């Protein structure tokens, strides 16, 4: 038996490694003569740009600006920041790496085991088409797929968590949000969900950039999805 009836999962960083495929795509585009550290630095800058860009977007169900387009725009700004010139068509191709994320080793068995005893669904800020393809291509199990596009709002807006629970037919008090980012868990807690922090020390490619969560700040803290309570 699970402690909760439903589990919602953040995807980028929590279920999947984004740094490896994105930095690899950047390194390939920059060419063999480029300092290897540059691709990593650009990936981290691109991730920061994503967070800042999402905050500025005014989204709705009727008027949805694709996150994939935002990644393309963001790469243009990152290239300018680093003094690198990548042609527009190359930026579009490199940005597709954000649709080819790689599950952490514990994710497939963790989701499979958890789904046998509770409802399981991703809750991501990305586009629906990206998430549907990712779960299909990576053979990830879920009972439903939720993304910000479905709600016309990004996490940490309360409506995203509330409606995801409503769609699953589960009261927030019987659900848990699972994420490697404190802001996501704090927002979910505000609407009544329980919280599970997943420690992903290499989410951003190196230990010095690991996301840190306060001890005792959330209901549970794990470093392997197979340990979800």
Q: Domain map of the chain by residue range?
A: 6-17+101-227, 19-99
pLDDT at 101: 97
**Within 13 A of 146's CA, how many CA atoms are on the CB side?**
26
**What's the whole-model pTM score?**
0.95
Write the class of the CATH domain 19-99.
mainly alpha
CA dist 48 and 55 (Å) reads 11
Please give the average pLDDT of every successive group of 10 residues along the chain, which has 229 residues: 91 98 96 90 97 88 90 97 96 97 98 97 96 97 97 95 98 98 97 98 96 89 96
CA dist 98 and 151 (Å) reads 21
Question: Residue 134 class from Cβ within 10 Å (0-12 exposed, 13-18 middle, 19+ buried)?
Answer: buried
pLDDT at 77: 97
Asked if 154 and 70 count as a contact pair (C-beta separation under 8 A), the reply is no
What are the pLDDT digits (tens) for 136-182? 999 999 999 999 999 999 999 999 999 999 999 999 999 999 999 99
pLDDT at 215: 80
What is the fold of 6-17+101-227? Rossmann fold (3.40.50)
pLDDT at 1: 61
């Amino acid at each position: 038996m699970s402690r909760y009836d439903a589990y919602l999962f953040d995807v980028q960083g929590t279920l999947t490694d984004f740094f490896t495929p994105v930095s690899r795509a950047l390194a390939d585009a920059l060419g063999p003569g480029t300092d290897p550290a540059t691709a990593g630095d650009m990936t981290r800058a691109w991730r920061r740009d994503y967070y800042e860009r999402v905050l500025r977007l005014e989204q709705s169900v009727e008027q949805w600006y694709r996150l994939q387009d935002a990644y393309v725009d963001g790469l243009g700004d990152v290239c300018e920041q680093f003094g690198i010139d990548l042609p527009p068509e190359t930026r579009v191709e490199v940005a597709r790496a954000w649709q080819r994320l790689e599950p952490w080793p514990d994710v497939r068995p963790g989701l499979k085991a958890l789904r046998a005893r509770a409802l399981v669904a991703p809750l991501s800020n990305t586009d629906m088409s990206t998430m549907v393809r990712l779960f299909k291509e990576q053979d990830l199990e879920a009972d439903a797929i939720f993304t910000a596009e479905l709600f016309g709002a990004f996490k940490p807006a309360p409506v995203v968590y509330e409606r995801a629970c409503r769609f699953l037919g589960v009261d927030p008090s019987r659900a848990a949000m699972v994420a490697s980012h404190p802001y996501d868990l704090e927002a979910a807690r505000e609407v009544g969900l329980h919280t599970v922090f997943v420690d992903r020390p290499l989410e951003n490619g190196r230990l010095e950039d690991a996301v840190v969560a306060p001890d005792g700040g959330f209901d549970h803290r794990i470093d392997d999805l197979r340990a979800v309570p």
